Structure 1
């Protein structure tokens, strides 16, 4: 197996953990067990926007998908859909951030709109990651050559830990999120 597929899978797991945490926090608010922490929600959305949307997706598009396209023409419709989803990421994140701001501004009356936007975003991301792992990964393993993998792996290994970012910025953000989020999502009170 290529190192780059391991990196993508690890990045998917990290994103899945953040998405699950968001869902858990929103669920606890809906059940009346938590009060909203808008700063925490904003940090979590910033993390998703900065790491998966701006670092992870471009690597998939520019390296994995670009090498697979000529080797496996039957993958083109799936790749085209995934690339389009990557391009829609900024707009989808803007909808979610706007819903959070409306919730912050309107109070409890804004929760349903935020929760709906959040659940829609989470659902789209799960489908996206599952498509990559269940459809693209097997095709890549089957059709890409050793030279393809060497090129893809070199690109991914050049930035193999985007979760830490420049000077540990994303590691610090992640640590702050974990420390602020209440149990069982994080370590906060």
Structure 2
């Protein structure tokens, strides 16, 4: 696998860990095992907003998708769908934040709306990541050339730690999430 595809895959794993943790917390609330921690939810949504939406997706659009679009007409419909999903990412995050705010204000009566928003967001992200890895990656490996990979690798190597952000600016946020989330999601009190 090419360096940049390995980095994208690692970034997907980082996002998947956060999404899995979010789902486990919501499931724990639904089953009455844990109480909601609205501050933790806000931090998790902030991480999802800052790292994938602001760092990861723009690089895919500007480098991987742009180069692949030129080399592989077959990939264009998938690229257009994925780029459209990237464009609505901010609105999807705002909807998740609004659902969390409604839950916090309404108490248990607002939980179902938050739970539905979380499930919808996570399911869409899984479909999105799977399309990239199972549809785009093979075409990129087949059709992109050495000069394409050099440019793409340079862009993605600028953020070689998907847990912390390009300049380490999200490392503290990720650490806070891990330290306050209850087990098995994090290291916090259960």
- Number of equivalent positions: 189
The 3-state SS of whatever aligns with 1:168 is coil
Number of the residue aligned with 2:145: 145
Q: How far off is 1:157 after superposition?
A: 1.2
Number of the residue aligned with 1:21: 21
Alpha carbons 1:55, 1:162 under 8 Å: kept = no
Number of the residue aligned with 2:12: 12
CA separation in 2, counterparts of 1:167 and 1:84?
27
* Residue 105 (structure 1) aligned with residue 105 (structure 2): yes
Cα gap change, 1:148 to 1:168, in 2 (>3 Å): closer
CA separation in 1, counterparts of 2:182 and 2:162?
25
Q: Which runs of 5+ in 1 are unaligned?
A: none
CA separation in 1, counterparts of 2:115 and 2:27?
9
Cα gap change, 1:155 to 1:129, in 2 (>3 Å): same
Number of the residue aligned with 2:37: 37
The 3-state SS of whatever aligns with 1:60 is helix
Number of the residue aligned with 1:186: 186
Number of the residue aligned with 1:2: 2
Alpha carbons 2:55, 2:165 under 8 Å: kept = no
Q: Which runs of 5+ in 2 are unaligned?
A: none
CA separation in 2, counterparts of 1:147 and 1:104?
50
* Residue 86 (structure 1) aligned with residue 72 (structure 2): no
Q: How far off is 1:158 after superposition?
A: 2.3
Q: Give me the TM-score of the superposition, normalised by structure 1.
A: 0.97
Kindly indicate which of the two structures has a greater share of residues assigned to helix.
1
Q: Give me the TM-score of the superposition, normalised by structure 2.
A: 0.97
CA separation in 1, counterparts of 2:59 and 2:182?
33
Number of the residue aligned with 1:131: 131
Q: Could you report, residue by residue, the CA deviation over 1:40-69 in whole angstroms, capped at 9, with x for unpaired residues?
A: 000000000000000000000000000000
Q: How far off is 1:167 after superposition?
A: 5.6
Q: How far off is 1:70 after superposition?
A: 1.0
CA separation in 1, counterparts of 2:148 and 2:102?
46
Number of the residue aligned with 1:174: 174
* Alignment RMSD: 1.0
CA separation in 2, counterparts of 1:158 and 1:124?
27
